Amino acid sequence: MLNIVVCVSGGGTNLQAIMDAVSNGQITNTKIAGVISNNPGAFALERAQKAGIPSFCISPKSYESREDFNEAFLAKMDELNPDLIVLAGFLVVIPEKMIQKFKNRIINIHPSLIPSFCGTGYYGLKVHEAALDRGVKVVGATVHFVDEGTDTGPIIYQKPVMVEEGDTPEVLQRRVMEQAEWIILPKAIDAIANGKIKVKDGKVVQA
């Protein structure tokens, strides 16, 4: 059984997709051990509570320094002892110590086709604003392992989504979630839980 901890900052629609996929059997062999948010107001926390999943808020604002926050975040993670950490709209830089400790055991969903529209400053709605500004016709989402860089780790799955005439960032964001994120994130968790993929020479291959 793969124990996962899901980290969230906002609405938690990706968390909801994971919880639904665990309930309906699209994700097998997996237990959600806990949900951690940096944001006390995150609706994602309510979703977790409603589903009876232990949830915790660890906010940088409650600590004197970033180091203190990182220590508390790591301590909670150690306590929950996950096999896999899932970043589902988590807008906090992961401490390097955590990345090293959980090498190839942290995954992230990003709302673009990496390497487009990714890296520092590209998160949430900003990604979709940038895509529309550039006038690209195809966007999408990527689920990848987390390494020391920003959005640079081995890519697990990607799924393209078409831009449509008249799209606003909000409309495009929703379509990318519906047609890509909510599909490939659960699929990646199931693949990891069932030993279907592995990292070889910095790339994801079938196990």
Query: How many of the chain's residues bind ligand GAR (CB under 6 A)?
Result: 17
Task: List, by residue number, the catalytic residues.
Answer: 110
Q: How many CA atoms lie within 13 A of 49 on its CB side?
A: 9
Would you count residue 88 as binding ligand GAR (CB under 6 A)? yes
Q: Does residue 54 sit in helix, strand or coil?
A: coil
Nearer to ligand GAR (CB atom), residue 7 or residue 193: 7
DSSP H helices, the chain, are 13-23, 43-50, 66-80, 96-101, 125-134, 169-176, 182-193
Tokens 């047609």 correspond to what residue?
179
Q: How many helices (H) and strands (E) does the chain have?
A: 7, 9
Least CB distance to ligand GAR at residue 195 (A): 26
Give the strand order in the sheet containing 30-37: 55-57, 30-37, 2-8, 84-87, 106-110, 138-145, 155-162
Residue of the chain from 4, 12, 154, 183 that contacts ligand GAR (CB under 6 A): 12
Would you count residue 123 as binding ligand GAR (CB under 6 A)? yes
Residues 96-99: contacts with CB within 8 Å, 24+ apart?
96/148, 97/70, 98/70, 98/73, 98/74, 99/146, 99/147, 99/148
Least CB distance to ligand GAR at residue 22 (A): 15
Would you count residue 140 as binding ligand GAR (CB under 6 A)? no
Residue of the chain from 13, 30, 38, 55 that contacts ligand GAR (CB under 6 A): 13
Per-residue contact flags (x/-) with ligand GAR for residues 17 to 56, judged by CB under 6 A: ---------------------------x------------
**Region 153-172 residues binding ligand GAR, contact defined as CB under 6 A:** none
- Closest-by-Cβ residue to ligand GAR is 89
Tokens 């906090």 correspond to what residue?
92
Would you count residue 142 as binding ligand GAR (CB under 6 A)? no
Would you count residue 131 as binding ligand GAR (CB under 6 A)? no
Burial level of 72, CB count in 10 A (0-12/13-18/19+)? middle
Would you count residue 14 as binding ligand GAR (CB under 6 A)? yes
> Applying CB under 6 A, which residues contact ligand GAR?
8, 10-14, 44, 88-89, 109-111, 123-124, 127, 177, 181
